[in-house]
Amino acid sequence: MNYTFSNRIAALQPSIIREILKATSGQNVIPFSAGNPAPETFPIEAIRTFTQSILEQDPVTALQYGITEGYAPLRDTLTQHLQTGFDTGKASDELFIVSGAQQGIELACKVFCNEGDTIICESPSFIGSLNSFRASGAKLVGVPMETDGMDIEKLEHALQTEKNVKLIYVIPSFQNPTGITTSLEKRKAIYDLAKKYNVIILEDNPYGELRFSGEDVATIKSMDDEGRVIYVGSFSKILSAGLRVGYVLAPHEVVQKMVVAKQGEDVHTAMLPQILAYKFMTEYNYAEHISSIRAIYRRKSALMISKLQEHMGESITFTHPDGGLFLWCDLPAHIPMLDYAKTAAAEGVAVVPGTAFLVDENEPCNAIRLNFSTPSDEQIVKGIEKLGQVLNTF
């Protein structure tokens, strides 16, 4: 059978990078390449108890179809939570539940972008979103990241010169892949430019609650006085990634369209995980749980940084994130990054080549992304030592 795939999907090719990642998915590989939350952050006992009580007390709600907008008590609780914790959500905004932040991002693109329209992204940025934008036929334009967020001059240049810019996609806190947090000044500048050029901002904040050092910075959504920001959040990194519960806060008119688009995708997010998320927020010690996750990531990131300094400190530079799951390492200029990643993989340590996160994977990039949440402490110690040894072979 000869299949003729749609133009959109036919254009998506497996890359060398993904081949490297596939080769390093084995059991004995040290996983610095994943983006998984640390397994010890899952409140397993509480999930077991809540599941049992849901199935005993109200099984039909959990097992029946629900409305596309999501489980009302969860929506109300989240709306309140975002208002008190993040100062987000005007009266004209509405919150609805999605099957992970990934779906919220994809829906935002679907409702605003025609094929050929432009989305401006941080470069590097989250692969899942870039692929989703690519599959929709949007044109991606990357704006380089600086230590405090996007290069604002280049952002303005892109807004001036690119045609049909529909969205600016930003991951302002502990960005995936760099770990960078966009400063308050830059958040304001991004908002002002979006206003000036009449573009919508897609603010993706799945790591927002995972700050382990420094002071919180206001969300861009909190500056939104005219319904310009679509804010996406997730339970993946604070409760469980596998339950697939996320949320979108956006003006009512936008939510109405996103909800119609979601109906055609999965009707609604599974009810049992939504009720679990609600119980997690209202019947569990949410604040204490978040604080325990922060403590785990504070320890793991400090361990990774100290080992990087010990084994590679003189050769590489890397970001020092204040939260989230990742840090970004620039290799010395003379080292061919893809060869380095391949050799590390052959030695049993998986890292992600930085090019995977670029709008154009062929652009020069000598960085790798390291994840500190998935590996155990022992794996961090062994893996970074191995990465140092691999560096010395070049």
Q: Pick between residue 233 and residue 383 the one whose CB is nearest to ligand PLP.
A: 233
- List all residues 6 or more positions away from 319 whose beta carbon is below 8 Å from its beta carbon: 147, 178, 179, 180, 327, 328
Nearer to ligand PLP, 66 or 246 (CB): 246
The correct pick among 124, 149, 206, 323 for binding ligand PLP (CB under 6 A) is 206
101 makes contact with ligand PLP (CB under 6 A):
yes
Question: Do 223 and 187 form a contact (C-beta atoms < 8 A)?
Answer: yes
Only one of the segments 68-76, 78-86, 98-106, 248-256 lies at the binding site for ligand PLP (rule: CB under 6 A); that segment is: 98-106
For residues 327 to 346, the per-residue mask of contacts with ligand PLP, x marking binding by CB under 6 A and - elsewhere, is: --------------------
- Smallest separation (angstroms) from ligand PLP to the CB of 57: 27
For residues 203 and 170, is the Cβ–Cβ distance under 8 A? yes
**177 prior amide bond cis, ω within 30:** yes
Distance CA 228, CA 357 (A): 26
Q: Which residues does 91 contact at the CB level (< 8 Å), separation at least 6? A: none
Query: Residue 312 or 353: which CB sits closer to ligand PLP?
Result: 353
Interaction of residue 171 with ligand PLP, rule CB under 6 A = yes
Nearer to ligand PLP, 81 or 307 (CB): 81
Q: Residue of minimal CB distance from ligand PLP?
A: 100
Total binding residues toward ligand PLP, as defined by CB under 6 A = 14
* Element (DSSP H or E) covering residue 20: helix 16-23
CB 142 within 8 A of CB 116: no
Q: Determine the Cα angle at 206 with ends 234 and 204, to 5°.
A: 105
Contacting ligand PLP (CB under 6 A), which of 33, 68, 102, 374?
102
The token pair at 340 is: 């380095």
Q: Among residues 94, 117, 204, 209, which is the contact residue for ligand PLP, using CB under 6 A?
A: 204
Q: If you search the block for the tokens 């804010």, which residue do you land on?
A: 231
Tell the smallest beta-carbon distance from residue 193 to ligand PLP (Å): 21
168 part of the interface to ligand PLP, by CB under 6 A: no
- Residue 363, sorted as left (phi over 0), alpha (psi -120 to 50) or beta, turns out to be beta
Work out whether strand 229-234 and strand 200-204 pair parallel, antiparallel, or are unpaired.
parallel
Cα-based torsion angle of the residue sequence 188, 189, 192, 197 in order, rounded to the nearest 10 degrees: -150
- For the bound state, the minimum distance from the C-beta of residue 135 to ligand PLP, rounded and expressed in Å, comes to 15
C-beta closer to ligand PLP: residue 181 or 236: 236
In order of 43, 109, 162, 283, the CA distances from 192 in angstroms are 40, 21, 18, 40
> Is 383 among the residues that bind ligand PLP (CB under 6 A)?
no
Residues of this chain, 238-257, that bind ligand PLP according to CB under 6 A: 241, 246
User: Which sign, positive or negative, has the C-alpha torsion 221, 355, 370, 351?
Assistant: positive
Between 356 and 390, whose beta carbon lies closer to ligand PLP? Answer: 356
Separation between Cα atoms, residue 322 and residue 341, nearest integer Å = 26
Rule CB under 6 A: is residue 126 a binding residue for ligand PLP? yes
When the beta carbons of 35 and 375 are compared against ligand PLP, the nearer one is 35
Closest CB to ligand PLP among residues 124, 383: 124
**Residue matched to tokens 């319904």:** 227
CA–CA gap between residue 180 and residue 214 (Å, rounded): 13
Of 176, 240, 274, 374, which one interacts with ligand PLP (CB under 6 A)?
A: 176
Nearer to ligand PLP, 273 or 390 (CB): 273
Q: Binding segment for ligand PLP among 4-12, 99-107, 223-231, 350-358 (CB under 6 A)?
A: 99-107
Binding status of residue 236 toward ligand PLP by CB under 6 A: yes
Instruction: Compare residues 108 and 141 and give the one whose CB is closer to ligand PLP.
Output: 108
Q: What is the distance of C-alpha 287 from the center of its chain?
A: 21
Tokens standing for 35? Answer: 């983006």
Q: Tell me the closest approach of the beta carbon of residue 329 to ligand PLP, in angstroms.
A: 18
Q: Which residues bind ligand PLP (CB under 6 A)?
A: 35, 100-102, 126, 128, 171, 176, 204, 206, 234, 236, 241, 246
